[in-house]
Structure 1
Amino acid sequence: MLPAPPPGKTGWPWDRQTDPARYDEKINWPKLTIVTPSYNQAAFLEQTIRAVLLQNYPNLEYIVMDGGSNDGSLQIIEKYAPWISYYQHEKDRGQSHAINMGFSLSSGSYHAWINSDDYYLEGVFHKVITSFIKTAVDFVYGYGIDHNVLTGEDKLNRILPFTDYFIKIPGLVQPSTFWNSQIHEPIWEELHCALDYELWLRLVKGHRRLFIKQPLSVAHIHDEAKTHSPKMKAQWEADHQKIWAADAHGIVSEWKKIVFLNKIRTKLYSLFRSK
């Protein structure tokens, strides 16, 4: 029984929710911890929160880490506070720090984080946790949808299977990833943009994973989003310099070969899908 949605807001996750009856009472549903880092994203935050809570997952731990927003975010968080496991509203050292603090409080068997300008699609928690239970994998990932805030257009972000050999090629849709807490590792807090990419290099390789070839989340494409902002180009470059430094992940001698083979792989998958 969440607060009523803002006037004019309809559909998922406003006046629609995942049917609680989908969760078989005979199953001991493992605890799922979701962390939301946020800073001055009031325009999107309520949708993010509702899309977590209205999954109606029966064993949810939801942690919201707000870095001291001054745009009305706190009022939104307080509106849903009775359904949030823990929230914090104070200055932090950035997104990576906020995520690490959130997961340091986790008691869940499975982890995921969703940024405050993204949101999960309906029924995703049931789909993902059922997959974990049935397959005993360590990592579950899927497609995503990019929603252009300016034009209103949606684009399916269809990715390729995430293999160990091609792990250096960015590909995962961050809000469409979930993992067993036993393989969790802290985020490298020196990174500003490529924090999820670097995490996958450490966290995913060598672990069993399952690819759900369906969209699991929606990412809002807007001028302030790190992934799409021209202002972030220099910061992205700085992050990658740090990641591939000799004292970090090290220089990759076969970049050209990996990129070439990935282009072939991409083309083959494209041809296969078109048939």
Structure 2
Amino acid sequence: MNLPDLQSYRSNFINKGVQLPLPIVSGTENGLLHQLPPPPFGKTGWPWDEQVAQTVYDNKINWPKLTIVTPSYNQAGFLEQTIRAVLLQNYPNLEYIIIDGGSTDQSKQIIEKYAPWLSYYQSEKDNGQSHAINQGFSLSSGRYHAWINSDDYYLKGVFHKVLNKFMSTNADFIYGYGNDYNVVSGKTTTTRVLPFIDYFIKIPSLVQPSTFWSAAIHEPVWEELHCSLDFELWLRLVKGHSRALIKEPLSVANVHDQAKTHSPKMKAQWEADHQKIWAADAHGTVYEWKKIIFFNRIRIKLYKVFGYYS
């Protein structure tokens, strides 16, 4: 497993003239809703004509810096929703970075429209999602990290809930439930994540856009992976560290034909990632993984028996 050196990425940005640390998102005491570009015609509700009230953030608290990275490529139909759902949290100490891989749709124009409220953005050819994420975090100066893909978005008030959880628990890793919204049927389903011990980290159960972690435990993403990059990251990043579960949805993943998780075209790539992750020189063997799956089924049944699922 060859992981990139984030310091080398950081040095490349510095050599290009990027000034570090990046500026935080500039806000106002009344929030950003009326400062941002107006939403597209007919768009209402969160995150179009609603915002988190800035008054929810107690000004007596020194809110820690939160870094959000959005890797972007040809998701113009969803990207503006993603951006607004970050900015309209009105979090008082936010570093927001967008790394676009040279999109050929309207993504660049959307990003540029919101540029005054971004800490940093670029739109140029890269080596894929993993590379974009690593580039973004190489610029980070936040105490806490998360990434949100350009076709997903955060629910209203999530940053307030998550940062309060970090401060009240001193956890290294926060995770929560997630919603899937089917853009064709209009139906929403919720993935409820179970609490887990280290042994069960090898079960792909975490909802990526509903995860946040301390910069102190951050690891680079394995760039050879194209689909299971988040799952593999958890195998290295979460084990042995304190964590806390928020038992409510924190994010929405838009389910559409081009989404990696739901596209039949990506089946071969998922299988290729699986073989890399479960190679002997990475995270074990397929046999070991199947054994863990068996014990996980027993664990889920026990949770159901004792009423974890309502």
TM-score under structure 2 length normalisation? 0.87
Aligned length: 275
CA distance in 1, matches of 2:182, 2:108: 25
CA distance in 1, matches of 2:248, 2:286: 32
1:181 is aligned to 215
1:236/1:186 Cα in 2 relative to 1: closer, same or farther (>3 Å)?
same
CA distance in 2, matches of 1:141, 1:219: 15
2:176 is aligned to 142
Letter in 1 for 2:92: P
Deviation at 1:3, TM superposition (A): 1.2
1:105 is aligned to 139
Structure 1 unaligned regions, length at least 5: none
1:133 is aligned to 167
CA distance in 2, matches of 1:217, 1:274: 20
Is it true that 1:11 corresponds to 2:60 in the alignment? no
Query: Given that residues 162 and 172 in structure 1 are in contact (C-alpha distance below 8 angstroms), is that contact kept between their aligned partners in structure 2?
Result: no
Letter in 2 for 1:77: I
Provide the secondary structure at the position in 1 that maps to 2:199: coil
1:28 is aligned to 62
1:228 is aligned to 262
Provide the secondary structure at the position in 1 that maps to 2:48: coil
CA distance in 2, matches of 1:243, 1:143: 25
Bigger mean CA offset, 46-55 vs 229-238: 229-238
* Among 101, 107, 114, the residue aligned to 1:67: 101
2:23 is aligned to none
Provide the secondary structure at the position in 1 that maps to 2:201: coil
Task: Tell me the alpha carbon deviations over residues 39-69 of structure 1, each in whole angstroms, 9 at most, x when there is no partner.
Answer: 0000000000000000000000000000001
Query: Given that residues 162 and 171 in structure 1 are in contact (C-alpha distance below 8 angstroms), is that contact kept between their aligned partners in structure 2?
Result: no
Deviation at 1:19, TM superposition (A): 0.6
- Give runs of ≥4 in structure 1 deviating > 6 Å: none
TM-score under structure 1 length normalisation? 0.98
Letter in 2 for 1:243: I
1:28/1:153 Cα in 2 relative to 1: closer, same or farther (>3 Å)?
same
Structure 2 unaligned regions, length at least 5: 1-34
Query: Given that residues 63 and 86 in structure 1 are in contact (C-alpha distance below 8 angstroms), is that contact kept between their aligned partners in structure 2?
Result: yes
CA distance in 1, matches of 2:162, 2:308: 24
* Among 194, 200, 205, the residue aligned to 2:234: 200
CA distance in 2, matches of 1:22, 1:273: 31
CA distance in 1, matches of 2:126, 2:78: 20
CA distance in 1, matches of 2:225, 2:309: 38
CA distance in 1, matches of 2:70, 2:215: 16
1:142/1:260 Cα in 2 relative to 1: closer, same or farther (>3 Å)?
same
Deviation at 1:264, TM superposition (A): 1.4
Q: Percent sequence identity over matched residues?
A: 76
CA RMSD of aligned residues (A): 1.1
